[in-house]
Chains A and B, each alone.
Chain A
Amino acid sequence: MAFDIDMIKGVYSQMAERVDQARELVGRPLTLSEKILYSHLWDGKSNKAFTRGKDYVDFAPDRIACQDATAQMALLQFMQAGKPKVAVPTTVHCDHLIQAKSGAVADLKVANATSEEVFNFLESVSNKYGIGFWKPGAGIIHQVVLENYAFPGGMMIGTDSHTVNAGGLGMLAIGVGGADAVDVMAGMAWELKFPKLIGVKLTGNISGWTSAKDVILKVAGILTVKGGTGAIVEYFGEGALNLSCTGKGTICNMGAEIGATTSTFGYDASMERYLRATDRNDVADAANEVKAHLTADPEVYAQPEKYFDEIIEIDLNTLKPHLNGPFTPDLATPVGELGLQ
């Protein structure tokens, strides 16, 4: 069973009404990103269509995740709010304060000794305020979130730039500073400039040596490290449907490297398989009931140029494995050609 399944079902129970209202307001078919944004408005519904890249809008995220470095000041501040519990489901993950040296067993022992007081603080403050705590060695925040907490159509914030990894399960997951997380934990709204939308159409299929990683290495080469600033990147097309859910996670993860607010994919069979494999039949069943709202309206992917601010098309049949670098993730070179430069 999934964590916080009642919260997830609550989001889905309002989704149809909110998406329909938004479609009427905007006056055209909606992208997935818009559906999630409009169904997470702080005021429930809007009386105007927002201008992308311009309007500041208050949102109500479904959950929060913090890593052990950023969680410290965030939770010290939250303690000042005088609340008995966090206002939305929150987790803390100990993954940053562990140095890699000789191997898992020895390194973890050293970390537990060196940062004992920080881990003890985070565990006790989590225990007090109703926060799920993942101890050192449990895993990296974004992988643990994908395995346990991410859900299609949801909105989450996290105090780490690679929070965006959870887009692999069809949600809008956005990295924020500690102050934003504190506000949401304390029951306040979270403000974001309504993002621009970049559509990436994936045609064909990856095969052989090419993998999901090469999709984002290619996108990074096209958009560069600043090209996604202030925008959500929404992937679609036949090629997207044929990527695994975790492959989608990889692509969304590295959306941080092009400066994107976040990246996402529409709910599909790969996500259902992943939810079921990670013991979340309840989420998969609930998502299946509102499937139509967990991806863009069909008109959008049929004529994307009408709905996105920018479109990129990548043919996965001809995409080669890439190596990006050195010193910057947007210097993309197909394998075998590095020696030529």
Chain B
Amino acid sequence: MIGSCTNSSYEDLTRAASIAKQAIDKKIKPKSDFGINPGSEQIRFTAERDGLLQIFEEVGATIFTNACGPCIGQWDRSDLKGDEKNTIVHSFNRNFSKRADGNPNTHAFVGSPEMVAAIAISGRLDFDPMNDTLINEDGEAVKLDMPLGIELPVNGFAVEDAGFIAPDEDGSGVSVKVSPTSERLQLLESFQPIENESLAGAKLLIKAQGKCTTDHISMAGPWLRFRGHLDNIANNTLIGAVNAFNQKTNFVKNQLTGEYMGVPDAQRAYKAAGIKTIVVGDHNYGEGSSREHAAMQPRHLGVAAVLVKSFARIHETNLKKQGMLGLTFVNESDYDLIKEDDTFNFVDIASFKAGQALTIEIKHADGTALTIQVNHTYNDSQIGWFRAGSALNVIKKENAA
């Protein structure tokens, strides 16, 4: 496969086409299927005008949409029946397991467009076009000549409809199209500030053990379909995190009923009862992809604070932006003191200040209690975000003023 954002310049396509053309001229029947992903309509249109796409089509290539396609797993392969072992060679950028087609048995190799063309024609991964020969349809041994590229089109780039839509000069009258019944999109409502009083009697939602990345907090895969719908995607909140009390994922105690259930279900029960919760975590909590859903989902569901041994910095900032409390243990070993049925009182949250630790009273189910100190890294303006409910609420207020 040739193209993608990485390698679909005019130079790339001319160099690869110069190899594909030799297959035709030298009567070599390509051993593999070809796919082309042009990077833009301008490139596609120009390549078609200059006869490049026709060369690829002549060697049996499928020309895909000017889009990411197989490079991001958006590839519905028709050439395989199941998860058969197979090899693909492409000029894209990533070749992690399952990246292109979801099949763990697909071995993907990355090369230049011209090498991809040569390998596809030869059908051999160890083909060295500089030294090896191929047997053509007449039984003759032939060699591929060096690729020839043209840096920029001699007759200039051309395009009929580039696909660009300029915005209205004054967009104030434009209405944004979101259906209230959509499964995939949902307009957001401003988060309400977390009031001091609501932080008395907060319940433990989950004590996560070990690695808890943003993928554990907001799983990818099929859930990506809901990334524009906060309430729907919130149904994956923390379902990948390991519960420290039973080593299971998505199986936590609902303190209101004593039953064990999925994390989002338990959290929705607390929310319905008007009870705030806290999430406790291990080291480097929230590492991985920087996506904001990992902070927005717990916030949306009513989690007030995340208390961990240490944070991945971007996630900590994202929690602050969404108006939540991101806290770390002063004594890491206090993590071990937290029990499954604990209730938390933020006793000095009313005097939340930059550079000053906060105090939390922890009440166990047996009636005993202890007090711990927790650190935070909020500066004055970030405390303002917390008090306003989110960073965006602050901006909104400023813009309205």
Alpha-carbon separation in the docked complex, A183 to B290 (Å): 14
Alpha-carbon separation in the docked complex, A244 to B13 (Å): 14
In B53-82, which residues have CB < 8 Å from any A CB?
Answer: 62-70, 72, 74-76, 78
In A302-341, which residues have CB < 8 Å from any B CB?
Answer: 321-329, 335-340
Q: Which residues does A use to contact B, with CB under 8 Å?
A: 69-70, 72-74, 76-77, 79-85, 94-104, 107-108, 111, 117-118, 120-121, 123-144, 147, 162, 165, 176-180, 182-183, 186-188, 191, 208-209, 211-214, 217, 244, 246-247, 249-250, 253-254, 256-257, 270, 273-274, 277-279, 321-329, 335-340
Q: How far is the CB of B211 from chain A (nearest CB, A)?
A: 17
In the complex, whether B94 has a CB less than 8 A from a CB of chain A is yes
Q: Are B185 and A118 in contact (CB under 8 A)?
A: yes
Instruction: Produce 1/0 per residue, B241-270, CB < 8 A to A.
Output: 000000000000000000000000000000
Choose the segment among B171-179, B200-208, B271-279, B343-351 that binds chain A (4+ C-beta atoms closer than 8 Å): B171-179
- Chain B residues contacting A249 (CB-CB under 8 Å) are 9
Q: Are B126 and A250 in contact (CB under 8 A)?
A: no
Interface residue from A176, A180, A217, A336 paired with B132 (Cβ < 8 Å): A336
Alpha-carbon separation in the docked complex, A314 to B43 (Å): 30
In the complex, whether B193 has a CB less than 8 A from a CB of chain A is no
Interface residue from A126, A133, A273 paired with B152 (Cβ < 8 Å): A273
Q: Are A136 and B228 in contact (CB under 8 A)?
A: no
Alpha-carbon separation in the docked complex, A131 to B169 (Å): 10
Q: Are A213 and B113 in contact (CB under 8 A)?
A: yes
Q: Are A98 and B184 in contact (CB under 8 A)?
A: no
Q: How far is the CB of A233 from chain B (nearest CB, A)?
A: 15
Q: Are B66 and A217 in contact (CB under 8 A)?
A: no
Alpha-carbon separation in the docked complex, A271 to B196 (Å): 57
Q: Are A340 and B67 in contact (CB under 8 A)?
A: no
In B27-68, which residues have CB < 8 Å from any A CB?
Answer: 35, 37-43, 62-68
Q: Are B289 and A83 in contact (CB under 8 A)?
A: no
CB within 8 Å: A-B pair count: 345
In the complex, whether B133 has a CB less than 8 A from a CB of chain A is no
| Range, interface on chain B | 35 or more
Q: Are B66 and A139 in contact (CB under 8 A)?
A: yes
Alpha-carbon separation in the docked complex, A274 to B152 (Å): 8
Q: Are A339 and B126 in contact (CB under 8 A)?
A: yes
Choose the segment among B104-112, B357-365, B366-374 that binds chain A (4+ C-beta atoms closer than 8 Å): B104-112
Query: Which residue of chain A lies nearest to B162 when distances are taken between CB atoms in the complex?
Result: A138
Q: How far is the CB of B133 from chain A (nearest CB, A)?
A: 13
Alpha-carbon separation in the docked complex, A138 to B162 (Å): 6
- Chain A residues contacting B168 (CB-CB under 8 Å) are 127-128, 130
Q: Are B185 and A121 in contact (CB under 8 A)?
A: yes
Interface residue from B35, B78, B292, B396 paired with A179 (Cβ < 8 Å): B292
Q: Are B395 and A82 in contact (CB under 8 A)?
A: yes
Given A140-B40, A213-B91, is A81 in contact with B396 using a C-beta cutoff of 8 Å? Answer: yes
